Every structure is written in structure tokens, then in C-alpha cells.
Chains A and B, each alone.
With several copies, the nearest count.
Chain A
């Protein structure tokens, strides 16, 4: 691994708010850790729902959580613009709007987020186009502003 690659990784960390990166291959193991880890770790150590398991919001994934290992940092995020309940299909009997591999762009409805009895059609932001690489929510899951719904690459 050369300095150029390391620089790219640190830029990646900066851009994506990562505090720690660990890369391990047969030949090499690299671990990068950013300052301010203390507070971030404290936050991460908090249960996602500090109380009231019954609260619907409790299940909402904290948007700031680092992307799980295996995700390509170059993938673009499709986030929820509103708190509500995410639905992956237009009605219970229908097929999902999209799945891993579906080609999407800013005109493609990828899911619904229901809030105040209104089903909001969610489309990728302008400029995001590519294949769905990952579906990050389950059907019927409560989401908040910023919750990552899909990764597109």
C-alpha cells in the first residue's frame, strides 16, 4: 500500500465521517483512527433506543452509524427526507419497487415513506444513478430524516 492509497482512504474517512477504518488482506492490514473517537464511541455504545422499546422510533437506525464493513464507500446513499414508515412495495401483495441490481435514477420510485397518512414516493436525489447495491431498510421499518434507505453504485 502506498501513500497515495492511504491519502485516498483518509479523504474517504473525512468525506464520510468515518472515525476508524481497518483494511485487512492477505498481504496487508491497515487501521486508521481519527481523533474525537472518544465521544463518537460513547454515542455508538448507547443502545439505539435508550428507552421505551415500544416506541416506534426506537427501531430507527441512527443515520450516523458507520456503514457496515463490506460496503463500498463510493456508493451513494438514498436517504429518507422525512420521519415515517418505509414501505418497499406499493401494496402488501405487490412486488418490491426495487431490489439489489435494479437500475435507478432520479425518476425511479424506490420506496414509499408514509407520514401523516400520506405515502411519499421516494426517488434518488438528482445525480444519483446506478444499480441498487444494498437495501438498508426492511418493509414497514420506522425511519427518521437521514436514515439510509438504499445504497446505489
Chain B
């Protein structure tokens, strides 16, 4: 096992990694910027090294200084956490070239799966469902109709040269497809000088569901259940829960198998998350992308499976075989994670960095708070606005929601505005409670409704 591990990250995840290292008897070295000098990870790590000023580019993204710190502290492993350099295959390679273990997948696997287009090709080849559609630009209206009849309406007409919503239109039947295609081609020709359009299934009502996987260096990959992250605002996850309350056990099993298949195809090891879009109308899932690192919402899985994913990451990187097989994984209960951010949720979630006055986090059976904050801590404006992740684990979804309500009511944070109020309102939202939301719900409907 490693003797001393460097954490190339900050905040809550740095503290989270320190805690697991303490449990494993591994010394920790945390690097930090000048503005994080008084942070909890710095206080709690065995060794801390300042690597640069506040801006992430000059500190947490400064590969040169991080490697220099790793050498100075004489560490034998580096954990990148999430964000920052965690999905930077170049960094992973430099670390390994320095004969230091990088707690994460190989650079090759990172590149194969980190690039969306490459990953989709790989998924398709491995037999993992991707969004169905034409294999390339459609040659004629007849071609388009054929594809549409295969995959069913509604379909999306997408200019290959377009992007960001431009050159896209939806067709619900043959007539609108034919006329829409012609219009789309004309517009694409005019706008991009390229009339090519593809036809794809249009997912009208989507859930975001992902599978946590972990693999060792001996070729074993196990899926640790799913997480439903459909409560999003502008593609930012606000709530994550497990198991997803909208899919059947059969679909869950199929998704888990697909995720393992993809990881094995890429010779992937260490922790990763395979993200799927779930089409509520078609009751089908399609591969979206893969995150080749530990994720913010990993505690949701830990609560339901009694695992320590950070520990597993470190163990497999040290060469250990996974301590369980797929058959051993039997997630139980229901877990929900919400993010308490220093944001003014009633004012477009604008960030509110600043000093925390009184701080008292909830505690109790089934309640877990992952946080680096404390009373008197000043949230610096340089990084993200996360104050804490609040995770609950109950017998079932209703029980978890009840626990979450209690925990939110007990959470006392004076100073910056927080998103606690948003979550309290969400927990009273009939559509959220009845699992009737889609990934667009918060952006398009939630704020138009009067609070109950």
C-alpha cells in the first residue's frame, strides 16, 4: 500500500480523501493555493504545500508546481479528486512518468472515453445503446422517412455543421419530417455552407441516469448501482438519488451490464461513471458520456452499497483485486444527496462567497454531511460555491425525503445565502415527490409555479 499520498485538489473532496487515507494509515500531503491556507484540508493533512496564488491556473491546474510538491513531499501516489486536473490525461501521464501512482484510469482509457465522439463510437461498437438515428447524413426525404419509421417519432433533424441548438428541428410525423428536412437543409446550406442533416430520435422527456463502476487492474469491472440526477438546472446537478425511482429493475440491470461492457471495451480501471439519457416515452436508455474520475455524487452510491469508493480507488491503484464480484453488490434503501451552495437561489443562483458566521450541520442516523466548511471560514470567490453535500439514506424514497427535510431544517448557516431554501421548496414540489420531472423541469417549470 502507499505510504504517502498527495491530494491535487481542495475543499470538500480533499477532506474526503484525507479521511479515507487516515482510515487506511496513509499519510496525506495536500497542495493548496495561497487563499486556501486556512482551509480545513490544510489543517487536517499531515503535510501541506502551497503551490501558487488563488487563480486555479496558477495553482490547482499548475502541473509543474504540483509535481514539484509531490517530489518535495516524497509521495508515492497522487489523487486528483474531481474537477481541476482529474480528467487531464496529460497530467496522469506526467505523474506516472515520475514513477508516482495516479489514482485513476490510464491515460489511454481516459482519452478513449473522455472524448464524447470517440466514446460514442466505442460504445456503439461495444453494443451499448446510443441515441438511434441515421448512420450519416440522409441522402433524400425517402432515406429520412425510412430512418424515422425505424426509430419512431418524434425525431430530431440536425445539421451536422450546426451546434448549440442551431440547425435543429423536431418532426412528429411524415409530413413535418419531409418539409422540415427540406427547410433544415436550406437553412444549413445558407448558415454553414453545408446542407448535410442527420436524423436522430428526439428525447422529449428525459431522465439523467448514471451507473457507478469500479474496475481493478486485473480486468474485473463491477457496477455499483445507478444514480438518478434528473433534477438539474442548466445542466448542473442539484439532487442525486439512488435507486432511480422511474426505471424497472430489468432496465437497471441492463444499464449496469452495458456500463461494465463499455468499461471493459476501453480496458478501463479505477472508478468511473457511465452517464445515460433515459427516454421516458420510449422507455429506453442511450449512452451519453463517461466521467473518468470520482464524481461529486459518489456518496449516494456509498450509502446504498456500504462501500468507500475513495478507498477502493486507492486499493485498486495499489494493485489489489476488487474485494467483491458483481453478485455481491446488492444496493439497499434509498439515498439522496443535495448540494448546499453559497448561492442566492432566488436571484438566479448567483454565487455568494464570503464568511460563514454560525455553522451547525445536522447529524443523526442516516444523515451524512461532507463539507470542508466551518464557522469563521471564508468561502473564497476563486472556486466553486459548494458549502456541503448533504446525503441521507432511508428505508425507501419517502423515508429518505423525510430525513432530508429534517436535516435541512436543522442546518444552520449564517453569513452567505445558501440553496437550503431551494431544496426545502423542492421537497414540497408535487411533481418532484411524484417522480414526474424531467431534466428540463427546473429550468422550464419549477420557478413558474407558486410555492405551495
Q: Do chains A and B touch in the complex (CB under 8 A)?
A: yes
Which of A's residues lie within 8 Å of B, judged by CB? 38-39, 41-43, 45-46, 49-52, 55-58, 60, 62-64, 82-85, 115-116, 142, 144-147
Q: Report B33-57 CB contacts with A as 1/0, cut-off 8 Å.
A: 0100110000101111111110000
Would you list 19 pairs from A and B whose C-beta atoms are within 8 A, ordered by A residue?
Answer: A39-B38, A39-B357, A39-B376, A41-B357, A43-B38, A45-B414, A46-B43, A51-B27, A56-B72, A57-B49, A82-B64, A83-B50, A84-B68, A84-B72, A115-B67, A144-B49, A144-B72, A145-B59, A146-B53
Shortest distance from the beta carbon of A130 to any chain B beta carbon, whole Å: 24
In the complex, A58→B376 CA distance in Å? 26
User: In the bound complex, do residue B65 and residue A55 qualify as a contact, i.e. CB atoms below 8 Å apart?
Assistant: no
Shortest distance from the beta carbon of A44 to any chain B beta carbon, whole Å: 11
User: In the bound complex, do residue A115 and residue B34 qualify as a contact, i.e. CB atoms below 8 Å apart?
Assistant: no
Q: Is the interface of B mostly helix, strand, loop or mixed?
A: mixed
Which of B's residues lie within 8 Å of A, judged by CB? 4, 27, 29, 31, 34, 37-38, 43, 45-53, 59, 64-65, 67-69, 71-74, 98, 355, 357-358, 376, 414-415
Shortest distance from the beta carbon of B318 to any chain A beta carbon, whole Å: 20
Shortest distance from the beta carbon of B344 to any chain A beta carbon, whole Å: 16
User: In the bound complex, do residue A50 and residue B358 qualify as a contact, i.e. CB atoms below 8 Å apart?
Assistant: no
User: In the bound complex, do residue A145 and residue B415 qualify as a contact, i.e. CB atoms below 8 Å apart?
Assistant: no
Q: Which residues of A contact B45 (CB under 8 A)?
A: 50
Which of B34, B52, B73, B415 sits near A57, CB closer than 8 Å? B73
In the complex, A50→B48 CA distance in Å? 9
User: In the bound complex, do residue A145 and residue B50 qualify as a contact, i.e. CB atoms below 8 Å apart?
Assistant: yes
User: In the bound complex, do residue B46 and residue A82 qualify as a contact, i.e. CB atoms below 8 Å apart?
Assistant: no
User: In the bound complex, do residue A60 and residue B414 qualify as a contact, i.e. CB atoms below 8 Å apart?
Assistant: no
Q: Which residues of A contact B47 (CB under 8 A)?
A: 49-52, 55, 57-58
User: In the bound complex, do residue A55 and residue B50 qualify as a contact, i.e. CB atoms below 8 Å apart?
Assistant: no
Q: Is the interface of A mostly helix, strand, loop or mixed?
A: loop
Closest to A60 in B: B49
User: In the bound complex, do residue B65 and residue A145 qualify as a contact, i.e. CB atoms below 8 Å apart?
Assistant: yes
Q: Which residues of B contact A147 (CB under 8 A)?
A: 50
User: In the bound complex, do residue B48 and residue A38 qualify as a contact, i.e. CB atoms below 8 Å apart?
Assistant: no
Q: Which residues of A contact B71 (CB under 8 A)?
A: 84, 115-116
User: In the bound complex, do residue B357 and residue A116 qualify as a contact, i.e. CB atoms below 8 Å apart?
Assistant: no
Ordered nearest first, which 5 A-B pairs have the shortest CB separation? A115-B68, A42-B357, A51-B46, A144-B50, A83-B69
Shortest distance from the beta carbon of A29 to any chain B beta carbon, whole Å: 27
In the complex, A80→B67 CA distance in Å? 15
Closest to B98 in A: A116
Q: Which residues of A contact B38 (CB under 8 A)?
A: 39, 43
Closest to A54 in B: B74
In the complex, A36→B51 CA distance in Å? 23
A56-B74, A57-B48 known; A83 and B414 CB under 8 Å?
no
Which of B29, B43, B50 sits near A63, CB closer than 8 Å? B50
